[in-house]
Amino acid sequence: MAPRITVIGTGYLGATHAAAMADLGFEVLGLDVVPEKIEMLSRGRASIYEPGLEELLARHVQGVEGSSGRLRFTTSYAEVAEFGDIHFVCVHTPQRHGEYACDMSYVDAVIETLAPLLTRPALVVGKSTVPVGSADRLAARLAELAPVGAEAELAWNPEFLREGFAVQDTLHPDRIVAGLRSERAEQLLRTVYAQPIGEGSPFVVTDFATAELVKTAANSFLATKISFINAMAEVCEAADGDVVKLAEAIGHDERIGSKFLRAGIGFGGGCLPKDIRAFMARAGELGASQALTFLREVDSINMRRRGHMVELTRDAVGGTLLGRRVAVLGATFKPDSDDVRDSPALNVAGQLHLQGAQVTVYDPKGMDNARAIFPTLRYASGALEAVRGADVVLHLTEWREFRELDPERLAEEVAVRHILDGRNALDPAVWRKAGWTFRALGRPTA
Ligand code: UDX
């Protein structure tokens, strides 16, 4: 009989994983401790914006008309423990306030709550991003607390999905990494990731520590690549070079590759910034901090980008931000997401506001989340409204909607035709032709 699956935590990762598992034909029970999330999910609605997710939920959530009925949600750990053969742990591990290390309390709470309820054989599979050594510690705790003893086992199976592509990345992962300690665990996980998910995806079996490290190493590499190109953007600006051409040219070298070489205001979100910091903190605890000192530089190059964008804006409006009207297009940390966690766009908007500018923000999906964090900013209901009367327009998240804006039409709304592209996603020639002063990070001024 096919194993029954539970998914604990229903954020970007958990909600998508639960829906994907149901889509593969498994019976799935999702758990979250936030009743509002469960209430929404139980109606086939997602509490987050992720392309394709609601469609997938509606296809499987029990009670939704025409659904397979394979997916249900609950707030009860007892129900989860009773139901599942495999329990996926998908809760978040945010950065601790004022520290580099991540907060493991949510993962710890899952094990502490679930384990004492495990009275039948179960595989607990960690998917959250955790400091290396956590799985080993959690496995010991599981063995200590589970009434079923050794029949409750842990595996570590990091997740690499990107927001905005969560459904696609979950159903067609580049690779599956599994930190395993027994053949039974391997067999169960291989069953879960059998066709079509595993089709063409390498299945890499490792020990616990390596599985945990694969995730943080991958994110550190990606962050480094972005900061590398942003460092090149700084040099290009000093030397009047063009970082977009430079990235295109070096990207043709297959050893370098063209992806993740978009210079701009840098990386944000709930993963890359906190993962590299948590990695440095953990390396320090392990006595290996020297190995990761470069990540400190990666982080500071990244944070410098935001300050630089603020400076460019100040220059653009004549040297002082006081009372200047700034239109900000984009609030989320990347397009196709409603996530504003550590968003460079929102951070820049906030800094401008604090320095006295009148900032009006528009984002296609991130408005509610942005408002919750920065209620004092002005919010517009569309790009045209946002730029009305603006002394300068900032393009800070590269939504398709912004790339398709008509510069001629926008020109009718603004006070001054001045645009700064913080994502190198707009075509300078088109904007300049429409009479705009166009400035982009790491590119020649004209
Ligand atoms: C990342 C990893 O890509 C994913 O594998 C992991 O599971 C979670 O963390 P995500 O946070 O969704 O995913 O976003 P990602 O697409 O990696 O982008 C992160 C940030 O980098 C965004 O703010 C994006 O705008 C920025 N970025 C990305 C750049 O500034 N330049 C680039 O070339 C690429």
Neighbours of 98 (CB within 10 A): 5
Q: Domain boundary residue among 178, 206, 234?
A: 206
Shared domain check, 364 and 435 = yes
What's the pLDDT at 6?
98
* Longest Cα separation, the chain: 72
- Where in 195-243 does DSSP place strands (E)? 203-206
User: Is there an atom of ligand 1 within 6 Å of 160 CB?
Assistant: yes
pLDDT at 200: 81
Q: Are 363 and 396 in contact (CB under 8 A)?
A: no
In angstroms, the CA 339 to CA 358 distance is: 23
How far apart are the C-alpha atoms of 157 and 125, rounded to whole Å? 6
Stretches where the chain sits below pLDDT 50 are none
Q: Which two three-digit tokens encode residue 295?
A: 């990540």
Per-residue pLDDT tens digits for 170-218: 999 999 999 999 999 999 999 999 876 767 889 999 999 999 999 999 9
For the stretch 50-66, pLDDT in tens is: 999 999 999 999 999 99
Find the distance separating the first CA and the last CA of the chain, reported in whole Å. 66
pLDDT attached to residue 198: 65
Angle (CA) 390-393-394 rounded to 5° is: 145
| Element of type H or E holding 195 | none
- Kindly report the protein residue whose alpha carbon is nearest to atom 32 of ligand 1: 260
Q: Whose CA is nearest to atom 19 of ligand 1?
A: 267
Cβ contact 275:216 at 8 Å: yes
| CA 94–ligand 1 middle distance (angstroms) | 16
Identity of residue 423? R
Ligand 1 pocket, mutate which of 12, 13, 162, 168 (most atoms under 8 A from CB): 162
Give nearest CA residue, ligand 1 atom 34: 260
At 389-423, the pLDDT tens digits run: 999 999 999 999 999 999 999 999 999 999 999 99
User: What's the domain range around 293?
Assistant: 207-446
Helical H segments across 240-271, by residue range: 243-251
pLDDT at 2: 94
Does one domain contain both 183 and 225?
no
Closest CA to 333 of 349, 315, 316: 349
Q: How many whole angstroms separate alpha carbon 146 and alpha carbon 134?
A: 18
| CB-CB neighbours of 221 under 10 Å | 11
- Is residue 160 located within the same domain as residue 235? no
Same domain, yes or no: 286 and 409: yes
Shared-domain flag, residues 152 and 71? yes
Its pTM stands at 0.96
Q: Do 293 and 399 fall into the same domain?
A: yes
Whether 211 and 164 share a structural domain: no
Q: Do residues 299 and 282 both lie within one domain?
A: yes
Ligand 1 center–CA 215 separation, angstroms? 13
Q: Two tokens at 20?
A: 């994907």
Cβ(425) to ligand 1 under 6 A?
no
Q: Ligand 1 mean position to 269 CA, how many Å?
A: 7
341 lines ligand 1 (CB under 6 A): no
Q: Are residues 222 and 167 in the same domain?
A: no
| Residue of 13, 271, 398, 402 with the most ligand 1 atoms within 8 Å of its CB, for mutation | 271
| Dist CA 83 CA 70 (whole Å) | 13
For position 87, which CATH number holds?
3.40.50.720
Last residue of a domain, one of 175, 206, 237: 206
Position in ligand 1 atom list of the atom nearest CA 268 = 23
Cβ atoms of 276 and 299 within 8 Å: the answer is: yes
How far is residue 31's CA from residue 80's CA, in Å, rounded to a whole number? 7
Mean pLDDT of the chain: 97
Are 278 and 182 contained in the same domain?
A: no
How many domains in the chain?
Answer: 2
Same domain, 200 and 247: no
Ligand 1 pocket test: pick from 127, 177, 226 the residue with the most ligand atoms within 8 Å of its Cβ. 226
Kindly state whether residues 192 and 247 are assigned to the same domain.
no
Whether 44 contacts 58, CB under 8 Å: yes
Domain ends where: 190, 206, 222? Answer: 206
271 is catalytic: yes
In the block, tokens 């598992």 appear at 21
DSSP string, 69-121: --EEEES-HHHHHHH-SEEEE----PBPTTSSSB--HHHHHHHHHHGGG--S-
